[in-house]
Structure 1
Amino acid sequence: MSAVVHLAGPGRAGPDLEELLSRVARGDQDAFSRLYDAVAGPVLGLVRRVLRDPAQSEEVVQEVLLEVWRTSARYRAERGEVMPWVLTIAHRRAVDRVRSAQTAVDREQRVAVASRTPAFDEVAEQVEGRLEREQVRRCMKTLTELQREALTLAYYRGYTYPQVAEVLGPPLGTIKTRMRDGLIRLRDCLGVGA
């Protein structure tokens, strides 16, 4: 049984898609091969217009034709012709692929933004650290000049006691005493328990 396929063009005979699909529904592989040849071109054209990516378009065409094979028994002629039914499946698959790709891009962007945004604990720690540094600076201003210089050299620059004494000039014992007194004053100013 042969009929003219509407998409085959004027004056050109093509296979009866409804008959082929009916045979496909019964598992006829030859009928599927002929149906494939008849619909693959229009399906690829539609999918490429949606996706604009040749490689993905070919993948989607394969998925569409596999779905046609699996769901051929669900086709109902009273609801419409075979080609529009197949093209509807193709359009849905192509749109699904676009949505899936967009979802993946959106997810990657959210991950990128989340990885750049410091966690709340990091922000709290940074603020706390700034406040503590400011309090230490304020308390350092309450020390004598010798205490402040000795503690700065020892604790911020990594000098040893003998090196501090050498840089500042007073004897080592004086430097140790001034530093001890300075640390006690800092502890009291900062409110740190003994």
Structure 2
Amino acid sequence: MKQAVHIGGKPSSEPDPQGLLHAVALGDREAFAALHDAVAGSVLGVVHGVLRDRAQSEEVAQEVLVEIWRTAPRYRRDRGTAVNWILTLAHRRAVDRVRSAEASAAREQRAALLDRMPEYDEVVEEVEARLEREQLRRCLRTLTRIQRQAVILAYYGGLTYRQVAEDLALPLGTVKTRLRDGLVRLRGCLGVSA
């Protein structure tokens, strides 16, 4: 059964959190039980106001009450009331839980992004390929008509020298010469050494 605490010589039905916290600091388990009963609702209210989740709030409130038992000797009466000290602990612990959850979510999001990121930069690859194609088109325009036709048929059309010669109605030797000269000119235009 709870013992009434006397304030100013008069019996009081309300426990004195200040006196209880002092007794808890000295290791008094009964005082802790009384303090627990006196502040548990307020602690849960503060924590729930921050977390907005009943299950997490109950868990954090329990952690705060354990922390009160462990850290009661650190309480300094000259810095505020026992209730304010306890509710400050509750608020800090709730904010820590929010920050921890946000940090965890941010880590998971970064990990998910890393899983989706290609091993190379697709945009850079596409831009480089586009620039190379444009440079090749410019260089192809520097070739003679027959050189350009022979290169396109052989390298883009996949035809053999003989097929290119038949397609252009030119002798095989002429096609080989035009292809060789065209490739030399392309290498020079593209800045590729032989």
Matches within 5 A, 1:72-151: 72-102=72-102, 129-151=129-151
Cα-Cα RMSD: 3.9
What are the ranges of 5 or more consecutive residues in structure 2 without an aligned counterpart?
A: none
Residue 181 of structure 1 and its aligned partner are, at CA, apart by 2.1
Aligned partner letter, 2:95: V
Asked if 1 retains the 8 angstrom alpha-carbon contact of 2:161 and 2:172, the reply is: yes
Aligned partner letter, 1:32: F
Asked if 2 retains the 8 angstrom alpha-carbon contact of 1:150 and 1:179, the reply is: yes
CA distance in 2, matches of 1:4, 1:83: 18
Look up the match of 1:3: 5
Q: Percent identity?
A: 59
Asked if 2 retains the 8 angstrom alpha-carbon contact of 1:161 and 1:172, the reply is: no
CA distance in 2, matches of 1:167, 1:46: 89
CA change 1:175–1:30 in 2 (3 A) is farther
Residue 101 of structure 1 and its aligned partner are, at CA, apart by 4.1
CA distance in 2, matches of 1:107, 1:193: 48
CA change 1:190–1:76 in 2 (3 A) is closer
Q: TM-score, normalised by structure 2?
A: 0.70
CA distance in 2, matches of 1:28, 1:164: 102
Look up the match of 1:31: 31
Asked if 2 retains the 8 angstrom alpha-carbon contact of 1:148 and 1:182, the reply is: yes
Where 1:31 maps in the other structure, the secondary structure is helix
Can you list the C-alpha shifts for 1:23-71, whole angstroms capped at 9, x where unaligned? 3212233432332232111111111112212233223212321221121
More displaced 10-residue stretch of structure 1: 28-37 or 39-48: 28-37
Look up the match of 1:191: 191
How many residues are aligned here? 185
Asked if 1 retains the 8 angstrom alpha-carbon contact of 2:153 and 2:164, the reply is: no
CA distance in 1, matches of 2:13, 2:186: 99
CA change 1:37–1:160 in 2 (3 A) is farther
Aligned partner letter, 1:67: E
Aligned partner letter, 2:133: R
Aligned partner letter, 2:164: A
Can you list the C-alpha shifts for 1:108-153, whole angstroms capped at 9, x where unaligned? 77888999999xx987766555443322211101223333233224
Look up the match of 1:9: none
CA change 1:186–1:4 in 2 (3 A) is farther
Asked if 1 retains the 8 angstrom alpha-carbon contact of 2:5 and 2:16, the reply is: yes
Look up the match of 1:165: 164
Asked if 2 retains the 8 angstrom alpha-carbon contact of 1:164 and 1:175, the reply is: no
CA change 1:94–1:167 in 2 (3 A) is farther
Can you list the C-alpha shifts for 1:134-184, whole angstroms capped at 9, x where unaligned? 222111012233332332243335x14168538825465544333222111
What are the ranges of 5 or more consecutive residues in structure 1 without an aligned counterpart?
A: 6-11
CA distance in 2, matches of 1:61, 1:110: 30
Where 2:5 maps in the other structure, the secondary structure is coil
Q: TM-score, normalised by structure 1?
A: 0.70
More displaced 10-residue stretch of structure 1: 67-76 or 13-22: 13-22
Where 1:192 maps in the other structure, the secondary structure is coil
